[in-house]
Structure 1
Amino acid sequence: MAVPLTTPAKSRTPAARAGGNRRNERGAAALFMVPFFVLFALVTLAPIGYAAYMSLYREQSSGLGFGGTERLFVGLGNFTETLADERFLASFGHIALYCAVYIPVMIGAALGLALLVDSALTRAKRFFQIAYYLPHAVPGLIASLIWLYLYTPGLSPLTDTLATLGSDWNFFGKDEAFFSIVNVSAWQWIGYNMIIFYAGLQAIPRETLEAATVDGAGAWRTALQVKIPMIRSTVVLTLLFTIVGAIQLFDAPKLIQLRAAELGTDWSPTMYIFAQAFENRDYGQAAAASLLLAVVAGVLSYVVTKLGNRWKAA
């Protein structure tokens, strides 16, 4: 009697069946991930590659502008010229000052509101969550336009009220315009980050809070020594996203600059890139500045992550 060379499916060992199931799962997972990687390549990798290509060239006019333009290979010339431009370096100084004021205000207010909504004394928590989140539902450009109206004397009830109280605060003044920008960003993002912090607070085991209460900890001590330390990961993640978003600031300063000319058209790095590309028509330098901005964002992300990990481990 001949012995079959192949093993019937029913006689396969459990380990072989498990291996086959794992291969099927990997294949299905890879199939579902294909659309993501295709879109990622089209909307992220391809633009970065094209920007890198553009940063190596410069368009130069000849014949007093009547002879057309020609593209010249300049290598790293656009990068060195951008790094030597005082306006580009000053824009990072403006953003650093902006972060020093905006981040503590925004994070502190969002965390305080989250703790307030999470407290047992607060009623209608769902209403307050929606109310605080509504400013973020307004697109950034529209929010900047709204505040531009509220800052404009003669049009805004806000400025009329301040004038009635005897205040001559000029929202578009040389020094005041900076705080006007901070206010627009804080108004838009406090509610959004409050929701994130509130979700983190909800994940804290209730047994831990009850134990703190039994040990005699009051509301303030519980908030500072129990709740906040237990959502360190959430705070670090929010801080990371806030810093990366801050160095890409564009809408608020761009619109406020229309009334506050002292800001200049290159107040922030993104405004500098916009001016180089669409005002000076220097696409090579704009591409170089964009890549340098991406490098700075990556370095800041790494530094914030490392410091956050140390804080979480402390």
Structure 2
Amino acid sequence: MTTTLGRPATPAAPPAARRRSGFTAMKRSKWRAIVLLLAPFLALYVLAYAIPLCYAVYESFFTEKRSGLGFGAPERVFAGFGNYVKALGMPEFTSGVWRVLLLGVVQVPLMLVIALLLALAIDALANRFAAFMRLVSFLPYAVPGVIAAILWAFLYLGGTSPFVRALQPLGVNLDFLSGGTILWSMANIITWTWTGYNMIIIYSALKAVPRELYEAAAMDGAGPIRTAWSIKIPLVAPALTLTGVFSIIGTVQLYNEPMLLRPFSPAIDANYTPNMTVQNVAFSLNDYGLAAAMAVLLALGTAVLSFGFMRLSGAMTARKAAN
């Protein structure tokens, strides 16, 4: 009699192990989807930002020297932090930095307050008026920045400016392109161009606020101003922080307005802003190491200002919520 022995059955995995296996597979699939969606952005970020920044840092530690009386062949030598020390010691560069900082301290808060007030006003209006107000407020942003600067240049010129002609009967002879006013003339252009853009961001955050909060506030007897101050503004604080960071970065990168107003104003020289100084050093003086050091310093300064503003905004929001 022959006895056939079958293969022993494989024990089934416990339910907990099967759940862990399914969770791991789902987690891997989720991470693959995230990586796939982020891949285009990461590729552009590395190619357009990370690699140029690393190359600028590398270039900032080198300089070129000529032998003899300066007529010999240029020799590339390691300069250490010499370019950074030289950049910080250049009055042209530091004065441009202080100039854009002054512009940012005055113009950025004013622009954000106007954008916030516009967003609150549009949110409180009826739908038919809100759509019209959004269009009118956003329309200046649709004008290209170069065209806007040229347009305002003719509005500032004494011979073509309606503002100058309106002030002359009052005995006021105001030159919008003089050394004392040109910075604020540029601030006006920036505010006119970007207020609508910031308003749309803040208004979008307002539309995401649940309407039940407004109804509860109205039942408690809160008026429109109290509701705006206690509910709307605290809830759109992240949007205000975002627009503030964008505005700080844009202020440090100020370039279009002074370059386009330069032919109209003798107060604007080749080193009026830090970006103009970097361009002048790189392409007029051919000192690429020094220009790279200036660019790195601007990047570091922008990062410090942006993160400092974010921390300050977060602390103020937390304090207001605690009170």
Could you state the TM-score of these two structures normalised by the residue count of structure 1?
A: 0.90
The alpha-carbon deviation at position 135 of structure 1 amounts to 1.1
Work out whether 1:41 is the aligned partner of 2:46. Answer: yes
The worse-fitting range, judged by mean Cα deviation, of 139-148 and 152-161 is 152-161
Residues 70-149 of structure 1: pairs in structure 2 closer than 5 A = 70-120=75-125, 123-149=128-154
**SS of the residue 2:267 aligns to:** helix
In structure 1, which of residues 262, 265, 268 is the aligned counterpart of residue 267 of structure 2?
A: 262
Q: Is the 8 A contact 2:65 2:77 kept in 1?
A: yes
Q: Is the 8 A contact 2:63 2:289 kept in 1?
A: yes
**Whole-Å separation in 2 of the counterparts to 1:273 and 1:100:** 22
**SS of the residue 1:249 aligns to:** coil
**SS of the residue 2:264 aligns to:** coil
1:278 alignment counterpart: 283
The alpha-carbon deviation at position 259 of structure 1 amounts to 2.4
2:198 alignment counterpart: 193
The alpha-carbon deviation at position 166 of structure 1 amounts to 4.8
Residues 200-215 of structure 1: pairs in structure 2 closer than 5 A = 200-215=205-220
Q: How far does the alpha carbon of each residue in 1:80-130 deviate from its partner, in whole angstroms, 9 at most, with x for none?
A: 101112222222211221112201220111111111111145742112212
Task: Name the count of aligned residue pairs.
Answer: 311
**SS of the residue 1:124 aligns to:** helix
Unaligned runs of 5+ in 1: none
1:58 alignment counterpart: 63
Q: Is the 8 A contact 2:245 2:310 kept in 1?
A: yes
Work out whether 1:229 is the aligned partner of 2:234. Answer: yes
Work out whether 1:184 is the aligned partner of 2:181. Answer: no
Could you state the TM-score of these two structures normalised by the residue count of structure 2?
A: 0.87
Q: How far does the alpha carbon of each residue in 1:108-156 deviate from its partner, in whole angstroms, 9 at most, with x for none?
A: 1111111111114574211221221121122222221221122122234
The alpha-carbon deviation at position 42 of structure 1 amounts to 1.0
Unaligned runs of 5+ in 2: 1-5
User: Which structure has the larger Rg over C-alpha atoms?
Assistant: 2
The alpha-carbon deviation at position 163 of structure 1 amounts to 4.0
2:3 alignment counterpart: none
**SS of the residue 2:263 aligns to:** coil
The residue identity in structure 1 corresponding to 2:43 is V
Task: Provide the aligned C-alpha RMSD in A.
Answer: 2.4
The worse-fitting range, judged by mean Cα deviation, of 99-108 and 184-193 is 99-108
The alpha-carbon deviation at position 244 of structure 1 amounts to 2.0
